[in-house]
Amino acid sequence: MASSQTARRLPALRDGWWQIHHRSLVKARLATVLWRLPAIVARTAAMAWRASPWDTAAAAVLNLAASGAMAWTLLATRTALQALLAEGATPDRLRAALPHLLAVAVAVAVRSGLTLGAGWALARLEPRVLTLAERRLFELTTSVDLAAYDDPRFCDELERARKGGAQSVQQLVRATVDLVAGSLGLVAAATALFILHPLLMVALLLASVPGFWAALRAARLSYLSIHARTSRRRRLWMLADLMALRETAAEVRALTMRGYLLGEYVATAETEISAELDVARRQAAARALGSVLSGAATLGVYAVLGALVGWHALPLAAAGAAVLALQAARQSSTLAINTINRVYEEGLYFGDYNDFCVRARARVRTAPATAATRPPERISVRDAALRYPNTREPALAGITFTVHRGQTIALVGENGSGKTSLARLIAGLYQPDSGTVCWNDVPLGSSEPEQVWRHVGMVSQNYWHWPFTAEGNIRLGSDHTPDEAATHAAARAAGAHDMILALPAGYQTLLSRQFEGGMDLSGGQWQRLAMARALFRDAPLLICDEPSAALDARAEQALFAALRRDAARRITVLITHRLANIRHADRIYVLHNGQIIEQGTHADLSALGGRYAELFALQATGYRT
């Protein structure tokens, strides 16, 4: 196991500005919370209504009717008790009380039926609300500007919205319905008590305060703590993944990283545990104080009841009904108190979720409604610059060039020189901070992003191993109607066809070990598949970022020959460190520290004797020696 010294290697985590913002919210007083509850309930109701109007209406109406049935039960009980405790012979009293007792029984049965119905409506509503919340979230996560993912603040907020917020909506709906049911029950019991004697109702309401206070304090403590621990929990999840994922399993062993990772995990988990225990201790103290005060308050209510009977201010039958009403009120107030806690707590998470959605929406690039983006005949970059969030140096500066359909350009340069960043600008994945990137003289910023990307085929450096069939992997995201001939042609051009046919179910083989019967591919085979996917799109702009890094010599040679064959139909952007592959490019741009320092054909640049010539000569020497 790693020492604490090793565990300290990861940089310390600091709080974000949003935690400071929410801390003030969390310190809100009881009155503020009660003031805010209606807004939370209203927002939840609106969300539930959007998810399923019928079930929302049913849950509300049935709960309201159930509380009416409860008040009816209590008042019918008083009438039945009056008849039972009246003067006269027992059989006569029983006979007189019978209709009232029947009324009580009917009221109880009706209330049970209504409560069951409300439960059924809620059960139908919950999954719909969760789906709606997640759908809204994923609509945003898949449409925000790619640059958002470079911003750690966005990533933290997304994490909280995903892991806390979206899930909280479902719980919030249940808690809100419980809160409404509990509150209506409390109102029904309080009304019955008011009818029996107004003082009893006042005493009941005062007695409920300590329970409310304790529940809210516990909720606030828990929220504040979870909020402050978001970054640490993300680190724990990350470490857990690193130690349990198939993708990392080989390196964890080969690099003997086990001790380091476990050490980091244990050290972070220890800090997490002590933070959790601290909160649990403070919550227990608040709850204990709340229980003591609630107990004393309940005693007070019964003392008031006793005094009223003693002063003959309350008949015995009414006192009996009052005891029942107090018990019912206690049940309802326990439900309301516990759920007020949950509604407030889940409401805060829901607030995070809503805030995230608002902020994420602001990061969705919306272009004015213009004519459909035409396939690029000409791409021109003018004095473009790009700086990633929270970085000091720009990744690109002063980039200017033009490329026409039918041309192949190559971007070369050392690691970190800006090649991938430039390719992303050309594809409209990032927007330049200054300068412009135009397709057919139309700035990309004014085009609908999806319309732009439909014209792009891209093999990125870090392509994903999509857990779908081989065929699905090639057709992924493409508008083309399923076309076997086109799929096979793309696979052939990428050198993937024979390899796919050799799989157990050919093109229908599932490429994921996580599923029964799934297969995995080698690095080079995955790369061929990624290339086939880009070619299948048959897009007018093809960007290949290190498309042959994992290919064997024969496959590499065949791939670049195939790219040259179809080059006239499109604009091709090649990024590769293997300079021999780009000798045929119409123009080569050499990048250094985010700037173009040389440009020209292979012959021009070789004659120039600059950085390109130096890099080319270095590689050529490597092959000769």
Ligand X SMILES: Nc1ncnc2c1ncn2[C@@H]1O[C@H](COP(=O)(O)OP(=O)(O)OP(=O)(O)O)[C@@H](O)[C@H]1O
Interface with ligand X (CB under 6 A): 150, 388, 391, 395, 413, 415-421, 461
User: Which one, 49 or 388, has the nearer CB to ligand X?
Assistant: 388
CB of 544 to ligand X, least distance (A): 13
Compute the Cα dihedral for 598, 601, 602, 607 and give only its sign: negative
Q: Which residue type, as a one-letter code, is found at position 326?
A: L
Amino acid identity of residue 293, one-letter, is L
Q: Which of 149, 179, 141 is nearest to 60 (CA)?
A: 179
- Per the DSSP assignment, residues forming a β-bridge with 401 are 381
Q: How far is the CB of 469 from ligand X (least distance, A)?
A: 30
Eight-state DSSP code of residue 527:
H
- DSSP 8-state code for residue 481: P
Nearer to ligand X, 221 or 396 (CB): 396
Backbone Cα Rg of the chain: 35
Q: CB of residue 420 vs ligand X: minimum separation in angstroms?
A: 3
Minimum distance of ligand X from residue 394's CB (angstroms): 9
Question: Cβ(212)–Cβ(30) under 8 Å?
Answer: yes
336 vs 575, beta carbon nearer ligand X: 575
Nearer to ligand X, 365 or 492 (CB): 365
Phi, psi of 412 (to 5 degrees): -130, 165
Measured from the CB atom, is 493 or 575 closer to ligand X? 575
* Strand order across the beta sheet in which 378-386 lies: 396-404, 378-386, 434-439, 442-443
Alpha-carbon distance of 365 to 144, in angstroms, equals 7
Beta carbon nearer to ligand X, 327 or 461:
461
The three-state secondary structure class of 490 is: helix
The amino acid that residue 436 corresponds to is T
Which amino acid type is present at position 269? A
For residue 176, which amino acid is it?
A: T
Nearest to ligand X of 298, 460 (CB atom)? 460
For residue 587, list its beta bridge partners: 409
Distance of closest approach, residue 329 Cβ to ligand X, in angstroms: 58
* Nearest distance in Å: CB 530, ligand X: 16
Closer residue to ligand X in complex, CB, 37/588: 588
Per-residue tokens: 302 = 């019964």
Rounded to whole angstroms, the Cα distance separating 140 from 9 reads 35
Pick 181 or 543: Cβ nearer ligand X: 543
CB of 591 to ligand X, least distance (A): 6
CA angle 455, 459, 465 (to 5 degrees): 120
Closest CB 460 distance from ligand X, rounded Å: 10
Q: At its nearest, how many Å lie between ligand X and the CB of residue 384? A: 13
**Which two structure tokens, joined as six digits, stand for 432?**
């330049």
Distance CA 278, CA 294 (A): 24
Smallest separation (angstroms) from ligand X to the CB of 396:
8
Q: Are strands 456-459 and 541-545 parallel, antiparallel or unpaired?
A: parallel
Helix (H) or strand (E) holding 69, with range, is helix 53-85
Q: Is the backbone of residue 113 left (phi > 0), alpha (psi -120 to 50) or beta?
A: alpha
**Of 198 and 416, which CB lies nearer to ligand X in the complex structure?**
416
Please say which residue, 392 or 554, places its beta carbon nearer to ligand X.
Answer: 392
Nearest approach, Cβ of residue 513 and ligand X (Å): 28
Looking at beta carbons only, is 165 or 432 nearer to ligand X?
432
Q: How far apart are alpha carbons 178 and 237 in whole angstroms? A: 33
To ligand X, the closest distance from the beta carbon of 549 in angstroms equals 10
- The two most distant CA atoms of the chain are separated, in Å, by 124
∠ CA(28), CA(29), CA(32), 5° rounding? Answer: 80
149 touches 142 (CB < 8 A): no
Min separation Cβ 412 and ligand X, Å: 9
Phi, psi (degrees; rounded to nearest 5) at 151: -100, 115
Of 140 and 396, nearer to ligand X (C-beta) is 396
Q: Which H or E element spans position 402?
A: strand 396-404
Kindly tell me which of 562 and 615 has the beta carbon lying closer to ligand X.
Answer: 615
The closest alpha carbon to 22, from 357, 355, 360, belongs to: 355
Give me the least distance between CB of 461 and ligand X, in Å please. 6
70 contacts 186 by C-beta, under 8 angstroms: no
Contact 93, 86 (CB under 8 A): yes
Q: What is the 3-state secondary structure (H, E, C) of 81-150?
A: HHHHHCCCCHHHHHHHHHHHHHHHHHHHHHHHHHHHHHHHHHHHHHHHHHHHHHHHHHHHHCCECHHHHH
Residues present in the chain in total:
625
